[in-house]
C-alpha cells in the first residue's frame, strides 16, 4: 500500500493528514468532542444538588393556625326518611349531604367561625312531616318544619364571636 493510498484512507476515516505516517502518534492527535459529555455532567450535578438541598432543608415552616370553631348541634325529628344537608368542619363552606336518613337524626359538629351553620331537610316522594332545629354552643337558635311530598325546610344561623363565658373550640 502506497503513501497516497494511506492518505486517502486517513482522509476518508475523518482523521487529519499526518504526512503519510500512521501509528500511535497519528491516533493521539484525534480527540473526540467532549462538550456534550461535560454539559450532561454539569446538568446531572445541578439536579443532584437541588434534590439534596430539598432533602436537607430543615427550616421551620410556620404552621397554619387552627381555625376557631363553634359547636353546632343539628337535629331532625319526624318519621320516615329524609335527605339532610348540613355545614360541617369544611373551611371552604361546603355542605355534607346524607341521603335517605331514617328519622330522628342528630349530629354535633364544629363549624368554622365566619361560616353559617345550616341544616336543610328534604322529604321523599311519600311525603310526611319533619322538623329541623339548630343549636349553637348549646343554645337553641332556630326551628323549621317540612310537610308533604318533597317538602323542604332549612334552619340557618350566624356564628358570633365567643363571649368570655363561652370560649371557642379549635379544630
In total, the chain counts a number of residues equal to 171
Tell me the pTM: 0.57
Tell me the per-residue pLDDT of 119-163, one tens digit each, with 9 for 90 and over: 999 999 888 999 999 999 999 999 999 999 999 999 999 887 654
What sections of 33-165 are H helices per DSSP?
35-56
What sections of the chain are H helices per DSSP?
3-12, 24-28, 35-56
Hey, where are the domains in the chain?
3-56, 68-161
Nearest to 169 by CA among 63, 71, 64: 71
Count of CA atoms in the C-beta half-sphere (13 A) of 20:
5
Asked if the model's pLDDT at residue 38 lies above 90, the reply is no
| The pLDDT of residue 29 | 56
Q: Domain 68-161's class?
A: mainly beta
Amino acid at each position: 500500500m502506497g503513501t497516497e493510498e494511506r492518505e486517502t484512507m486517513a482522509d476518508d476515516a475523518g482523521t487529519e493528514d499526518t504526512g503519510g505516517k500512521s501509528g500511535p502518534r497519528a491516533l493521539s492527535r484525534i480527540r473526540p468532542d467532549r462538550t456534550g459529555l461535560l454539559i450532561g455532567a454539569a446538568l446531572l450535578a445541578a439536579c443532584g444538588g437541588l434534590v439534596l438541598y430539598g432533602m436537607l432543608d430543615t427550616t421551620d415552616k410556620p404552621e397554619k393556625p387552627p381555625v376557631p370553631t363553634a359547636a353546632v348541634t343539628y337535629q331532625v325529628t319526624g318519621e320516615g326518611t329524609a335527605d339532610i344537608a348540613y355545614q360541617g368542619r369544611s373551611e371552604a363552606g361546603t355542605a355534607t349531604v346524607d341521603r335517605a336518613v331514617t328519622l330522628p337524626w342528630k349530629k354535633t359538629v364544629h363549624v368554622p367561625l365566619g361560616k353559617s351553620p345550616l341544616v336543610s331537610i328534604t322529604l321523599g316522594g311519600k311525603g310526611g312531616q319533619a322538623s329541623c332545629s339548630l343549636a349553637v354552643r348549646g343554645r337553641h337558635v332556630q326551628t323549621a318544619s317540612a310537610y308533604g311530598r318533597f317538602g323542604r325546610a332549612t334552619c340557618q344561623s350566624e356564628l358570633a364571636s365567643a363571649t368570655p363565658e363561652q370560649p371557642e373550640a379549635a379544630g
